[in-house]
Amino acid sequence: MNKRVFPALSLALSLLLAPSMMLRAEVANKDKPVVWYNRQPSNSSTGELDMDALQFNDKTYYVGFDANQGAELQGEMILDYIKGHIDGLDRNGDKVIGYVLAIGDVGHNDSIARTRGVRKALGTAVEEDGKIKSDPVGTNADGSSSVVQDGKLEIDGVEYTIRELASQEMKNTAGATWDAATAGNAIGIWSGDFGDQIDIVASNNDGMGMAIFNNWSKENNVPTFGYDANSDAVQAIGEGYAGTISQHADVQAYLTLRVLRNALDGVDIDTGIGTADEAGNVLSDKDYVYREDERSYYALNLAVTAENYEQFLDSTAVYEPVSKQLDAEKAPVKKVWLNTYNSADNFLGSTYKPLLQKYDDLLNLEVEYVDGDGQTESNITNRLANPAEYDAFAINMVKTDNAASYMQILQQ
């Protein structure tokens, strides 16, 4: 080959091939898009948002769902059920509607909100400094606990007491929270202690709710309520599981990857979210809210009960309004590092991750999925050893206080 042509050719070739590689190498890790999802950076004791993490750079967001709206909905769903099914609900006829509550993680905002939502709706809430107490009661056979109080409810002229007989955080001995197996064991102990005093089971999520349903409530016909609308739980509504809440995981999974896509493309962050993109993807204000001051997208929740569960049977179906493939020329393939805090978490494993895996194709993102063990943050951060290899990051912390350990890595 002519000596002068060769360098020119190889330069042309490298210019053709290099853009995506060059871009990745050029952007410092600290300037790459970051999405915190499912576990909002916050103080696990006070719930206060960690704004340093939420504003790590100008391409940082949180994606979750509206915890308070969902929690109120869960409480009201249970209250409506009691009112509508009072005949035969009070199993021992003592006029006390006793319930037990499975708590996911005492330091997780979603879990705290759900505990509060149930207590508020059922009249069992006790306030301290203007906030409903969300600690577990342990056991409360006689109603004397200071964490909750007995609620009163009149139905058809009959006065009932509503009592939280027992509640505990479902954390296993290794430290994993929201632990379904622990909930399955707890109901064995609670049913031994309280027997037919238990008329209702409420759970902060479906993973724990289903463990209780399968181990005990199904056989004993005790209405059990969860949260997440995982496919197995929705299916179980046909077999007596009483209800769950959809936190619109289809919208959340989309938003998790969509904000990264938009930040990577340098387009308006609202593209394909509140404003239709070229492919026609767009969400409506019934699907989510965005709070600029919190840098957070929150999907809105829907109650799933015997009346409507058939529409929710497949929790991993892509949401139709945002199901269109992006053009790979305008939105070229980018590499994303994404973790889940616990490979054994039912919601993330059976609902959220399958959805992410569908949206990553539609959005032309090549995602490296890393699953944690639910207990040790370093088990995950150790696997973020080469951030320079990725264009963007989606992070699901083990503990909501731990954002700094990820930011440190990205700042290096």
The least distance separating ligand BGC from the CB of residue 287, rounded to whole angstroms, comes to 17
**Of 269 and 356, which CB lies nearer to ligand BGC in the complex structure?**
356
Decide: residue 86, CB within 10 A, 0-12 exposed, 13-18 middle, 19+ buried.
middle
Say which DSSP state 375 is in: S
Which residues between 22 and 51 bind ligand BGC (CB under 6 A)?
Answer: 38-39
Site string for ligand BGC, 361-380 (x = CB under 6 A): --------------------
Nearest residue to 77 (alpha-carbon basis) of 260, 207, 200: 200
**Of 271 and 339, which CB lies nearer to ligand BGC in the complex structure?**
339
Encoding tokens for residue 158? 């009959």
Please identify which residue in 228, 250, 371, 401 interacts with ligand BGC, judged by CB under 6 A.
Answer: 228
**Of 277 and 345, which CB lies nearer to ligand BGC in the complex structure?**
345
**Of 38 and 140, which CB lies nearer to ligand BGC in the complex structure?**
38
CB 393 within 8 A of CB 34: yes
Look at residue 150 and give its three-state secondary structure.
Answer: coil
In angstroms, rounded to a whole number, what is the distance separating the alpha carbons of residues 270 and 292?
12
Which residues between 71 and 130 bind ligand BGC (CB under 6 A)?
Answer: 104, 110
Contacts of 68 (CB under 8 A, 6+ apart): 113, 117
The least distance separating ligand BGC from the CB of residue 170, rounded to whole angstroms, comes to 10
- Using the rule CB under 6 A, is 178 a contact of ligand BGC? yes
The least distance separating ligand BGC from the CB of residue 134, rounded to whole angstroms, comes to 15
**Of 226 and 272, which CB lies nearer to ligand BGC in the complex structure?**
226
Residues of the chain by 3-state class (helix, strand, coil), percent to 5: 40, 20, 40
Q: How many residues bind ligand BGC (CB under 6 A)?
A: 12
**Of 178 and 393, which CB lies nearer to ligand BGC in the complex structure?**
178
The least distance separating ligand BGC from the CB of residue 169, rounded to whole angstroms, comes to 12
- Using the rule CB under 6 A, is 205 a contact of ligand BGC? yes
- Using the rule CB under 6 A, is 207 a contact of ligand BGC? yes
- Using the rule CB under 6 A, is 62 a contact of ligand BGC? no
- Using the rule CB under 6 A, is 287 a contact of ligand BGC? no
**Of 89 and 180, which CB lies nearer to ligand BGC in the complex structure?**
180
Which residues between 305 and 364 bind ligand BGC (CB under 6 A)?
Answer: 345, 347-348
CB 230 within 8 A of CB 316: no
**Interface contacts to ligand BGC, rule CB under 6 A:** 38-39, 104, 110, 178, 205, 207, 227-228, 345, 347-348
